[in-house]
Structure 1
Amino acid sequence: MEQTLPRLELRDVSCRFDGAAVVDRLSLSLLPGQVTCLLGPSGCGKSTTLRMAAGVERASAGEILIDGDVVAGPGAHLPPEARGIGMMFQDFALFPHLTVRGNVGFGVRGAARDRVDELIARVGLSDKLDKYPHQLSGGEQQRVALARALAPQPRVMLMDEPFSGLDNRLRDGIRDDTLEILKEEGAAVLLVTHEPEEAMRMADQIALMRRGRIVQQGAPYNIYNNPVDAEAAAFFSDINVIHGVVKDFQCETPFGPFFCPNLRDAADVEIIIRPQHLKIDFDRQGSGPLPTTADGVPARGAVARARFMGHESLVDLRMEHDGSILKATIPGVFLPKAGTPLWLSMRRDRCFVFPCTRQSRLGDPWLHAKVQA
């Protein structure tokens, strides 16, 4: 079976500023028609990686290839206009003195000019051909920027936070429309975002970045359900963290033992569970602890606070065993009064057990903010 050549490939690419590695030996490949999201917190090197792929920033080391041809590397650096790429940025960068048709057709020559009105129609702006950017809404400007980037039929589309300036109500629809058009065009798409929801919605593959490196890569379902560490789990959603110590390859907790087959005795561990995977049962006075189930031993807590979030309720429980707060989300309306005793059990198939790193023990500011009450 013939193997498809990557449309865009980065091989051990690094970028240094003042001696510090902003991107450190990063490798990534994109196939034709594939949408890959570079996802990570601000300052992790996402946009620098995109600028190197575009040719706007020079790589300090490594190679960048498009359709197997080296466009950046030792002794080679093609400018952006020679790479066959399209670019979209969060500010849209439209020319204020040009109409919609003028913006989309800017720099397009020959047969490709026939695509201008066709693309404008595909983004739903045929009735705005002669309007100027200031006469358009933010969503309309974004669609003009998309049509302009696609007009030259680029082999690679690079997108840097292209939806961040849009109103939340518009964003989902415009993202879906944009994805549909990108898929039809067949270009390899590299999208930079710091929003996990956007990456999950748009991407075929997510490359999770941290401190200049890709720490995990895979399909959205896999990367969400099999995080590489606690920090990765916390990036995609709120999490609860229960600390413990390994003895005889297991960790004892108020929820029963958790097996830790690959960790040595006396190792500190973190047991991670998302709020939606905690199960709540009412306390039955005089009945004593609830029986052990397949999900382990229930632990008792009391409601500290309950809030309705629109499609679910968020309940904070102060645990009886150590006074810590665990968060549980319940579909629909569930608003027990503060002080109400409840039993919590944990879905074992939804828990993650990780060695406790020095950084998480000391309270990494970003992770700390995700797990506190």
Structure 2
Amino acid sequence: MAINTAPPRLEIRNLVCRFGGRTVVDDVSLTVQAGQVTCLLGPSGCGKSTTLRMIAGVEMQDSGEIYVDGKLVCDTVFRVPPERREIGLMFQDFALFPHLSVADNVAFGLKGAKEQKRERVEELLRKVDLIRHIDGFPHQLSGGEQQRVALARALAPRPRIMLMDEPFSGLDNRLRDGIRDETLAILKEEDAAVLLVTHEPEEAMRMADEIALMRRGKIVQQGAPYNVYTRPVDKAAVAFFSDVNVLQSQVNGALAQTPFGQFLAPGVPDGTDVEIVFRPQHVRLDFDRNGKGPLPTATDGVAARGVVERARFLGNESLIEFRMDYDGSILKATVPNVFVPNPGRVMWLTIRRDRCFVFPA
């Protein structure tokens, strides 16, 4: 099997950016291959968009280097102008020119003969299923259609890299999933390296080949979506993707004792306070049988008794909150479909051992 030895389409090394003495991007490094979608995922203000602006060339880094296909495009001395970096940009605001037709918007960044430009415009408008609107104007289009025109315009010059900053956040929820999928298919077909900024975990999981999770200017975890989700580096990484439940304990002999039984804590010194973190969907529910619950198992551990505090149906799953007998705390569980037990109902909870994460408190 042939080994790909080509350099990454995009590589950033040790980028740092400071505003007013505050470090907003702190030693960020990543690579994106041609045809790959990488998501910079994190809360607002964590440095995602600033990273994108430095790559685009509209913001200057304080230190670090940016490479395209192995060639330096920017450090703190040498700088290729933004318009010569062959980078496409898409933002939350589609920024279409209202006085230009759809065709002229898409053709805006193109060079060459009129016939060649028209051919490229028609090709892209067919891809985004808007050829019928080629002579229309932006105000005649829906939000989803305007987003697809903005995508066609960004792709028209055949950029080697596509930078996307929250491009779907202005769309109606009902449109968003379909347009994400259409956009992803077109980007893959064009073979651009894509760096997508989002604060929505679902969007990152849906679109990304790789996720770089950012927090306070740093990338704290990077990898395939499945690995980032199932092997989080800390409690905050778990909580960014879903609600969490937390049990407090202390390690003794590499074990943490809880009302749900013991949890393994290999390599953690005795006496260390730890938190056992788990998601609501990994709580298993069982009915009360004359004051008794299910027997302990190696997979699910010991059952703990709880009383239903509140239950709600959320559309594709139900969320049940329990007040636990052992300390009066609230634990959450989610189950598929409709299950809305009445408040006060006694149930027994167990936790999937292979879906729990033990972190120092």
TM-score (norm 2): 0.97
Q: CA deviation at 1:289?
A: 4.5
* Aligned position for 2:230: 225
Residues 1-373 of structure 1 aligned to structure 2 (within 5 Å): 1-110=3-112, 113=117, 114-286=119-291, 288-294=292-298, 295-356=300-361
Percent identity, aligned pairs only, is 66
Q: Are the equivalent residues in 2 in contact too, given 1:8–1:65 (CA < 8 A)? A: yes
TM-superposed deviation, 1:196: 0.3
Shift of 1:116: 0.9
The amino acid of 2:249's aligned partner reads G
Q: Shift of residue 227 of structure 1?
A: 0.6
Report Cα offsets for 1:149-195 as digits up to 9, x if no partner. Answer: 00000000000000000000000000000000000000100000000
Once residues 192 and 316 of structure 1 are traced to their aligned partners in structure 2, the CA distance between those partners, rounded to angstroms, is 33
Is the partner of 1:349 in helix, strand or coil? helix
When structure 1 is superposed on structure 2, of 81-90 and 1-10 the one drifting more is 1-10
Give structure 2 stretches of 5+ with no counterpart: none
Secondary structure of 1:77's counterpart equals coil
Q: Distance in 1 between matches of 2:22 and 2:5?
A: 37
Residue 223 (structure 1) shift: 0.7
Change (3 A) 1:2 1:139: closer
Q: Distance in 1 between matches of 2:316 and 2:110?
A: 47
> What SS is found at the alignment partner of 1:164?
coil
RMSD, matched Cα = 1.0
In structure 2, what residue type is equivalent to 1:179? L
Residue 360 of structure 1 corresponds to none
Q: For 2:246 and 2:210, how far apart are their aligned partners in 1?
A: 27
Amino acid at match of 2:51: T
Does structure 1 conserve the Cα–Cα contact (< 8 Å) formed by 2:301 and 2:351? yes
Contact 1:36–1:204 under 8 Å retained in 2 = yes
One-letter amino acid of the structure 2 residue matched with residue 186 of structure 1: D
Alignment: residue pair count = 355
Q: Distance in 1 between matches of 2:270 and 2:91?
A: 50
1: distance between equivalents of 2:136 and 2:238?
45
State the Cα distance separating 1:127 from its structure 2 match.
Answer: 0.9
Q: Secondary structure at the match of 2:261?
A: coil
Kept in 2, the 8 Å contact 1:61–1:73? The answer is: yes
Distance 2:126 2:262 in 1: 60
Give the Cα separation in 2 of the matches to 1:290 and 1:73. Answer: 62
Asked whether the 8 Å contact 1:204–1:219 carries over to 2, the reply is: yes
CA distance in 2, matches of 1:259, 1:120: 56
CA positional deviation for 1:4? 2.5
Q: Which moved more, 1:93-102 or 1:242-251?
A: 242-251
Question: What TM-score do the two structures reach when normalised by structure 1?
Answer: 0.94
Structure 2 residue matching 1:76: 3-state secondary structure: coil
Which stretches in structure 1 are left out of the alignment for 5+ residues? 357-373
Q: Which amino acid aligns with 1:53?
A: I
* Corresponding residue SS for 1:183: helix
CA distance in 1, matches of 2:30, 2:266: 32
Question: Aligned with 1:27: secondary structure?
Answer: strand
Runs of 4 or more consecutive aligned structure 1 residues displaced over 2 Å after TM superposition: none
- Residues 152, 290 of structure 1: CA spacing in aligned structure 2 closer, same or farther, 3 A cutoff? same
The secondary structure found in structure 2 opposite 1:285 is coil
3-state SS of the aligned residue for 1:293? coil
Mapped to 2, the partners of 1:234 and 1:54 lie a distance apart of 31
1:4 touches 1:31 (CA, 8 Å); kept in 2? no
